Structure formats: structure tokens, C-alpha cells
Structure 1
């Protein structure tokens, strides 16, 4: 589990869990104390998780054998571009291809270390001044 900001900078990486552990259980086990008024955008895997003092923004789940109302669909559509930042951060972490595929290293600490290094490299790339380029700089360099 990760916590990141609008710039895709990863502020928190939870310890790795062996096997299949539900997201909600991990969030409760590794509880984060967020500043009051902070906005937490989470997916439906964390249904029922609400840290104290944080505003939780979560999409509406389609009811069984039912449909979402127009207002619920509109809310989900407005929330989607805000939540896509998190998905971009996760794909940035997975650019180190050892994370995206099967990692065949013995020892849980090694797998955790590889994930930590992937997050650190992602944060380095996100904070790099070369990432924030403008179109004018590119055209001037090519001339």
C-alpha cells in the first residue's frame, strides 16, 4: 500500500505482506495518522476504512442486481481523473520491471528492499528538474 500526493511522490510504502492479505486488513494493521482535513482517495478495496480527521473520497459501488443513480455515476466520473494520479504513481514504480513481474528472490526482506528501491527511483524521477520540461526548451534545443 502506498500514499502519494498530486505530484505522484510516494510518501509511504507499507511493509510487504506474504500471501493474500486484504487491503482493509493491511490499512487497519498499519494505521496512518494523517493531518486533520487531508483528503484520502481510496479504492473500493478499502471500504469501511476511514482514518480519523481525514476526508475519504471513494467511488460508489454498484449495488447487486441494481444500477447507480445519475448523481452517483457523475460523482464517480468526477473522481476518476483525481484518482488516476495514484495509478500513474503505481505504474511509475513498476517501471523497474522487477516489480511488475514475478520476483524470484528468497527472503521477504529482499523483496521488500527491491520494492523500496523501486519507490525511491520513482521519487527521484518525479522530483527531477528534467521531468518538468516545457515545449519551448525542446524546440530551442533541436534548432
Structure 2
């Protein structure tokens, strides 16, 4: 009796599968253009993104900063970059979508840079993530 029900169930299931038809989608061309434009904007390398970053150090001495940057970049996969805003050079590292991610990474660098802190980076580039 049991094999009969198993056979019956199998035939029923196969009948369901063979009865499926392809789904046809019709989308308006204007919607497709908007989606394509959005995709292009998301993958631009120079697009600025609001993110969180870590400022490793601030110094007036460019050569000290460059020496510490070189040492740091040898150890880490993500490279630190420096910026200059008169009169200080700033050594910044990383770009993170959430503040929590940035604080987790901050713990890795606190030993070498005890004054490092998390800051809001409104000019992060997509390539930094």
C-alpha cells in the first residue's frame, strides 16, 4: 500500500513541475533607463560617499607622518592616506559604512597610534571601501 502512495505522490509532483510555464516580464523603458543610471552612479570610482574613517595622527612634520605611513602600510592591507589642511598633515585610514565597523578597526591600531580616533568622513571614495 505504501509504494502505491509513493508512486501516486511522485506522479502528482512531476505533473506539477511539467505544468509550469515561463514568466514573461514587461518593463517600461523609462524604468530600465533609471535603473541603469543608478547602477552607473553606484560604480563610479570618484563618487563621494558619507562614511566613517579613522584618523591615525595629526602632525605639522610631514616627514614624520610619511615615515609612520610607510611603516603602517607595510603591515595593513588597506593603505593609509595623508591630507594637508593648513597647518596640519593628517594621516587617515579606511572607510566604513557603520561607526561600529570603524571602532572595531580602531582597536587594531590603538597600540601604534594611541591618539587615533573615529571621524565622520563625508568625502570617502568608493575605491576606499
**What TM-score results when the alignment is normalised by the length of structure 2?**
0.21
Who wins on radius of gyration, i.e. which is larger?
2
Kindly indicate which of the two structures has a greater share of residues assigned to strand.
2
Normalised to the residue count of structure 1, the TM-score between the two structures is 0.20
